[in-house]
Structure 1
Amino acid sequence: MSEAIWVKLLDTLPGVLWVAFAATVYFTLRRTIIERMVPRVTAFRAMGVEIELASQLLDRAVTESDSAISASDRSTALGRLEHAAEFLRGGRLLWVDDHPEGNRALIDFFRAAGMTVDLALSTEEAVPYARRRAYDIIISDLDRDGDPRAGIRMLRDLERHDVHTPVLIYTGRFDPERGVDRRIFAATTAPIALVHYVIDLMERARLGSL
């Protein structure tokens, strides 16, 4: 065999060896790569479904509350939900309201995000729930059964039973100039604001800031 042919063979050898090495690595790790990638892709697809459902429920909640929301605010809330999904999933929420049907879209919204949402119609129902179960957040109205301070009275009952779960007030009528009780993390009349507050609290709880 001529010297020129040997030179060409030697020149091509590194490339052949590299292809052989890459093929060996691929076939050796192929199963591991697939096993790791498939759950991740499945999770992304599932999250896409969750976000689409959450988008529809948020729009419904805004419509039912007669509040206004800009396209920018809507996009920001859904973007936060997508990025904070891991913090919300598995969270526990107690919602206290004597008319829960008015909150149905938001209740379904948080459930679609992977949270457990328990409902209580009164303080008498809510306090035993809060004492028996570990909730991440309590959402409550203010006015129940003709008592405009029912929600505030519930806070005192929670304190007496040493329940320190963060409380969000979600109500149709709220005057921010009157201030909020020391046990209230935040109060709002807007669905979009409530979503942000829940995400804030869940992020803090998961990151150990509460």
Structure 2
Amino acid sequence: MDLSSPDRHSSEPSSKSDAALLDGLKAKQPAALGCLYDRYGSVVYGVALKVLHSQPEAEDLTQEIFLSLWQRPVDPAKQGHLLRYLIVMTRSRAIDKLRSRSRTLNLVQRWGQNVTAAPPAHTPIEQAVFHERSQQVRQALTQLNDRQRQAIELAYDAGLSQSEIAQKLHQPLGSVKSWTRQGLLKLKQLLQDSID
């Protein structure tokens, strides 16, 4: 079979059944993945966007879903339900991402409250713990890249929304959301490592 022929490459895979394309995935044929992406990518993206309310995260999740399909193809016997399978998997992973985002935000907010709240008259031990936590957060912030640190500091120290940060930095909103998300995930990991 000549895969370099434009007619064969563009028309034949798109006319194949899901089962045939899934067999192609098992044989590691990129054209099969491309056809499934063309067929179902917009549905997967739509489900991800509806749950996550974030274009960059929905795009990332769409890529993750099809990468997962490439790495672990679905059994062709289930091909009649491939679309349903993709929708359920996308929704499930999107909900997992929301939970993770919420946990990360809560962790950083708890740490932030402990660090930024002006301590009342505490015992020397409580003051030492407060100072140590403050140092840990400041140290963790220095390990972020400039964009991530700036986005997080503007959000938490200056109280700006992500839209306001994007305007202040003259950057796209999607970039600011991405920097904040990546920075929060890295902060979470750094702070958890310092607890362990």
Q: Fold-level match, TM-score > 0.5?
A: no
More helix by share: 2
Normalising by the residue count of structure 1, what TM-score does the alignment of the two structures yield?
Answer: 0.29
